[in-house]
Amino acid sequence: MSEVAERGRKKALSPWKSKSPQGSSSKAKKATQFPGVKSLNGKWGYLYVAPFVVMFAIFGLAPVVYSVYISFFHWDPLGESTFTGLHNFDRLLHDSDLWLALRNTFSIWALSTFPQMLMAIGLANILRNTRLRGKSFFRTILLVPNITSVIAITIVFSQLFGRDFGIINDILGWAGFSHHIDFIEGVIPSHVQIATMITWRWIGYNTLIFLASMLAIPNELYESSSVDGASKWQQFRYVTLPQLKNTITFVLIVGTIGGLQVFAEPQQLASDGGSSKQFLTLTLFLYNQAFVNNKYGYAASIGIFITFIVLIISAVNFVITRKISNDGTR
C-alpha cells in the first residue's frame, strides 16, 4: 500500500518538476506525463474541462490580471480612480510599514518553520518503526490539531500565553523566570506566540508527509547498513536524511507560501498591528489597506510585492535543490 501511496504522493508533491526520474526509465513511453487513451474520443475533453476553464478564468485568472491593472491606479472604490503609473510601488517601497511587515512575517515564518521541521522529521522517524504499537492511533491523533480553526486556536493560545494568568507564564515561573513575559507587547515573544500556534497546527501534518516519504525508502538500505554496523544515528544521517531532500523542499515551499499568508492570528491579537506594529504581517497590511482604508490600488501593489517574494524564494529553493542533487553522487 505504501508503495502506491508513495507513487501518488511523489507526483502530487512536485508539480513544478514535470520531468520525473521515471521519465528516463525503459518504459519511457508509458511514463510520459500525458499518455491519454487513444481509442477514446478526445473531443469530449473540451466539454469536460469547460466548466473548470470558465470558472477558473473568471474567479482565478481574471482577478490576478486585474490586480496588476489596478495597482497602477489610485483606486478608490467609492470615488474616482486615477492612473498614477508606478506611484503605488514607489510609495510602497518607501513605506516603513512594508519593511516592518516583511520583518514580522519573516520572523514568524522562521520561528514556525525550522523548529517544526526538525521536530516533524524526528517524530516521523519514531513513527516509521514497524514495531511501534498503536501506529495508526498516533498518526490519527497527530492530525487532530490540523482540523481546528485558526480562530479557535488563537482564542485558546492567547489565553494560555496570557501575561498575568496564563499557564505558560506559570510554568516559566516554576522554571525560575522571575518576570512574567508579555506575549502581546514584546516583539519577539509576540512572534513566538504566533509561531507556536502555527507549529501546533501543522506539525502533525508535516510529520505525516515526512513519514510517507520515509516509508518509501527501501528496507534493504536499512538492513544492509545494519549489517555493516551502522549506529541508529548513522542510519538516520546517511540513509534516511538524503532520501528526504525533495520532501524537505516541498515542506519548505508550502510553509513559505503559508507563512506569507499569516493573517487571522495577528488580526485577532491586534487588528491594527499592535502598539509597536509587532503583529503587522504582510497579509494583515494588505487587508487593512484594502478593506479598512479602501486603498485598492495600493493594496494591490502589496499583493504583487508578496508574489515577487514567493517567486524569488521558489527560484532560490529550486537552484539550491538542483545544486545539491548535481553535487550528490546520483
Partner 1 sequence: MSTQMAPDTVVVKAKRVKQPRWRRVPKRNYVLLAMIVALSIFPFYWMFVVASNTNAEISKSPPSLIPGGRFLIVAKKVLSAQGVYFNTALLNTFIVGISIAIAQVIFSAIAGFAFAKLDFKGRKGLILFVVGTMMLPSQLGIIPLFMLVKNLHMVDTLYGLIVPALITAFGVFWMRQIIDAQIPNELLEAASIDGASVPRIFFRIVLPIVRQSGFVLGLFAFLAAWNDYLWPTIVLQSPKHFTLQVALTQLKPMYGLDYGLQMGGAFLATAPLLILFIFVGRKLVTGVMDGAVKG
- What does the angle CA 242 – CA 244 – CA 248 come to, to the nearest 5 degrees? 120
Residue 55 interacts with partner 1 (CB under 8 A): yes or no: yes
The smaller minimum CB distance to partner 1, of residues 80 and 327, is found at 80
Interface segment toward partner 1; rule CB under 8 A; list 83-91, 94-102, 108-116, 140-148: 140-148
3 state SS of 181: coil
Residue 238 interacts with partner 1 (CB under 8 A): yes or no: no
Residue 145 interacts with partner 1 (CB under 8 A): yes or no: yes
Residue 129 interacts with partner 1 (CB under 8 A): yes or no: yes
Footprint of partner 1 on 83-122 (CB under 8 A): none
Residue 37 interacts with partner 1 (CB under 8 A): yes or no: yes
Residue 138 interacts with partner 1 (CB under 8 A): yes or no: yes
The smaller minimum CB distance to partner 1, of residues 251 and 328, is found at 251
Residue 21 interacts with partner 1 (CB under 8 A): yes or no: no
Footprint of partner 1 on 217-236 (CB under 8 A): 219-220, 222-223, 226, 232, 235
d(CA 10, CA 169): 43
Cα separation values, 234 from 225, 241, 275, Å: 9, 10, 49
Residue 151 interacts with partner 1 (CB under 8 A): yes or no: yes
Q: Are 325 and 245 in contact (CB under 8 A)?
A: yes
Residue 72 interacts with partner 1 (CB under 8 A): yes or no: no
Footprint of partner 1 on 169-198 (CB under 8 A): 170
Interface segment toward partner 1; rule CB under 8 A; list 79-87, 100-108, 110-118, 125-133: 125-133
Hey, what's the cell of 34? 500525458
Footprint of partner 1 on 248-287 (CB under 8 A): 250, 254, 257-258, 260-261, 263-264, 268, 282-283, 286-287
Residue 157 interacts with partner 1 (CB under 8 A): yes or no: yes
The smaller minimum CB distance to partner 1, of residues 44 and 328, is found at 44
3 state SS of 73: strand
Interface segment toward partner 1; rule CB under 8 A; list 85-93, 99-107, 203-211, 317-325: 203-211
The smaller minimum CB distance to partner 1, of residues 75 and 111, is found at 75
Residue 126 interacts with partner 1 (CB under 8 A): yes or no: yes
The smaller minimum CB distance to partner 1, of residues 267 and 278, is found at 267
Question: Dihedral of CA 201/205/207/210: which sign?
Answer: negative
The smaller minimum CB distance to partner 1, of residues 18 and 326, is found at 18
Q: How far apart are the first and last CA of the chain?
A: 27
User: CB count, 10 Å around CB of 311?
Assistant: 10
Residue 242 interacts with partner 1 (CB under 8 A): yes or no: no
Look at residues 94, 96, 88, 78 and name the one whose alpha carbon lies nearest to residue 273: 96
Q: Which residues of 32-69 are buried (b: 16+ CB within 10 A; e: fewer)?
A: eeeeeeeeeeeeeeeeeeeeeeeeeeeeeeeeeeebee
- Neighbouring residues of 154: CB distance < 8 A, sequence distance ≥ 6: 197, 264, 265, 268, 269
Point out which residues pair with 83 in neighbouring strands. 73
